[in-house]
Amino acid sequence: MNAPSRGAITGNIYSLDTTTGLQHQTMGTMEFHAADGSLASSQSIQNYNTDTYLAAYLAPGTYRVRYVPMMGTLSPQWWPNQTTFGKAADVVVTAGQTVPGLDFFLLPAAPTVLIPAPSFGPSGVPSFALPTTTAGKTYILEFVRTLGDQGWQEVTRAAGDGAPKTLSDAANGDPSRFYRLRME
């Protein structure tokens, strides 16, 4: 039951098991991010006895929702089926209402790529040089403004073809940014 001044969301969380297909995922954290990407609130999700999760007692507002599975072998996901905050859709939570159908389909986590130290050109633009890339893989440079921020935002991406690549953040107007490089 929800308080009349609060809202809720509900849906299903599935993981893809390459041997048995879709399975229900039962443990993780549901994150609710504000329009600027900051974490507004989070809730632990543990739905052992049901296929459907319920995240209740949410303050009314507009959020972008991210599910972070407890199992590190699965990738976090933004709703609906997105990998970054920038591609996620807004979810409007209204007092006294439950938003249905926020389903998540989790995929195995991508391997981690060690990010090289950036170089800075004359204009101060940080660039990350990859000495080699793998054909068929995509390299995605992402950033957050603080280390506590979970709202990784995509800067740029490059398709691997075996040749060296450089990924740069020309639009960096923040006083500081922290970067990671993902490979899909």
**Hey, what's the torsion of the CAs at 129, 176, 74, 38, to 10 degrees?**
-150
Percentage above 90 pLDDT, the chain = 31
Q: Specify the pLDDT at position 42.
A: 93
40-78 pLDDT, tens digit per residue, is 999 988 765 566 888 999 999 999 999 988 876 788 899
For residue 158, which amino acid is it? A
- If you ran DSSP here, which 8-state letter would residue 85 be given? G
Helix (H) and strand (E) counts for the chain?
0, 16
Residues 6+ apart with CB under 8 A from 29: 42, 43, 44, 45, 67, 68, 70
Residue 130 has, within 13 A of its CA and on its CB side, a CA count of: 27
Mean pLDDT to the nearest integer, 141-154: 81
User: Binning pLDDT at 50, 70 and 90, where does residue 4 land?
Assistant: confident
Q: Specify the pLDDT at position 72.
A: 67
Mean pLDDT to the nearest integer, 85-92: 94
108-139 pLDDT, tens digit per residue, is 776 655 666 777 777 778 888 888 888 888 88
